[in-house]
Amino acid sequence: MTNPDETGSNEATVARSQQRSDKVEADLAVHPQRWRLLTGDRPTGKLHIGHYFGSLANRVRLQNLGLDSYLVIADYQVIYDRDGVGELQDNVMSAMADYLAIGIDPARTTIFTHSALPGLNQLMLPFLSLVTDAELRRNPTVKDELATSDRPMSGLMLTFPVHQAADILFCKANVVPVGTDQLPHIEQTRVIARRFDERYGRVDPEHPVFPEPEALLSATPHVLGLDGTKMSKSRGNTIEIGMSADETAKLIRKAKTDAERHITYDPQNRPEVSNLLLLTALCERGQDGEVADPALIAEEIGDGGSGTLKKRLTASLNEYFAPMRARRAEVAADEGYLRQVLREGNERAGAVADQTLHEVREAMRMIY
């Protein structure tokens, strides 16, 4: 997708990031109180099981380790590449229902939207003074947009990595769980934190205003869509967290497989079948109580073929998500509750943002 030499995400960089991340991961369980975590999603559609296994479940795990957690529903990041807000409101409410259903606990995780935090958004201005136009154009996501989109690039698209830095730094998060695609954004955030200190200084001579956050690259399983390609709403190959058991069964029945009847786990040569096996394994427990082994499931099915595999996946997946879906139906039916949780999160996060903005203005001698 992007030129690895210029993205800052070449193999050496990723390997270095992984080493640092492993150290952080080891410390999280020992000293959870040292870490403040921020994660986020662009509410562009419904959350699906790819999001769940790839990141949401990991957030719940980290929250439950005792980390002070923040979760941004990045609504301003939705409008950087489109002409209106579209289904934004529905998507935000739906994400709220998903979060609460899967075990995000609003008492331990502060859930908020960008748009409700003036203090966060104002950080964007001093931060913009710390980056160059050329630097922003080298960001892989921005660069990709320039290269592939047929619409003119918005100013918000060009500068969104700076806004994302504000997402992370407003609460002084020092750990950000991400996939490798987000590493350049974390690096940009670290650069902004450092430059802020160099250029504008400190309130407390012992401590810079902002920490340099660490990326956390936890090993989460990478699941594909039901056609064996990247799971994404636009490809119509997703299973949404909030779907019913029947809808799920119907989609799995239509999932792509291959011509070979005997089932084997071979992600290289049989991506579609192997992905269905992986999904099955993620929804089952092995004898040791850990996530099941897709290769063993393949052996058990053997000549049963893809029909047997699909039946097993349907049963296991529906069973795995049943309690979450029941909880989701409950909270989704009570929009007043969802809005209340979000309002409380926005208030909490807003107070933190105002405090940080105050420190920024102190450091910049802009308190009058």
Please give the residue ranges that form the binding site for ligand TRP (CB under 6 A). Answer: 38-42, 72, 74, 77, 164, 167-168, 176, 178, 182
We find the least distance from the C-beta atom of residue 168 to ligand TRP, in angstroms, to be: 5
DSSP secondary structure code for residue 329 in this structure: H
Question: Concatenated DSSP letters for 159-202?
Answer: HHHHHHHHHHHTTT--EEE--GGGHHHHHHHHHHHHHHHHHH--
Instruction: Give the β-pairing of 214-216 and 175-177.
Output: parallel
We find the least distance from the C-beta atom of residue 176 to ligand TRP, in angstroms, to be: 5
Q: Which CB atom, from 176 or from 277, has the smaller least distance to ligand TRP?
A: 176
Q: Which CB atom, from 60 or from 292, has the smaller least distance to ligand TRP?
A: 60
- Tell me how far apart the alpha carbons of residues 251 and 243 are, in angstroms, rounded to a whole number: 10
- Written as six digits, the tokens of 258 are 């291959």
Q: Which CB atom, from 40 or from 242, has the smaller least distance to ligand TRP?
A: 40
Q: Which CB atom, from 164 or from 275, has the smaller least distance to ligand TRP?
A: 164
We find the least distance from the C-beta atom of residue 179 to ligand TRP, in angstroms, to be: 8
We find the least distance from the C-beta atom of residue 161 to ligand TRP, in angstroms, to be: 9
- Among 210, 133, 206, 217, CA closest to 181: 217
Q: Which CB atom, from 94 or from 182, has the smaller least distance to ligand TRP?
A: 182
Place of tokens 């950087």: 80
68-73: strand order across its sheet? 109-113, 68-73, 36-41, 175-177, 214-216
- Among 170, 167, 165, CA closest to 184: 165
- Among 20, 353, 349, 356, CA closest to 183: 20
Q: Which CB atom, from 39 or from 109, has the smaller least distance to ligand TRP?
A: 39
We find the least distance from the C-beta atom of residue 74 to ligand TRP, in angstroms, to be: 4
We find the least distance from the C-beta atom of residue 191 to ligand TRP, in angstroms, to be: 15
- Tell me how far apart the alpha carbons of residues 192 and 130 are, in angstroms, rounded to a whole number: 6
We find the least distance from the C-beta atom of residue 368 to ligand TRP, in angstroms, to be: 31
Q: Which CB atom, from 113 or from 248, has the smaller least distance to ligand TRP?
A: 113
- Among 99, 47, 41, CA closest to 239: 47
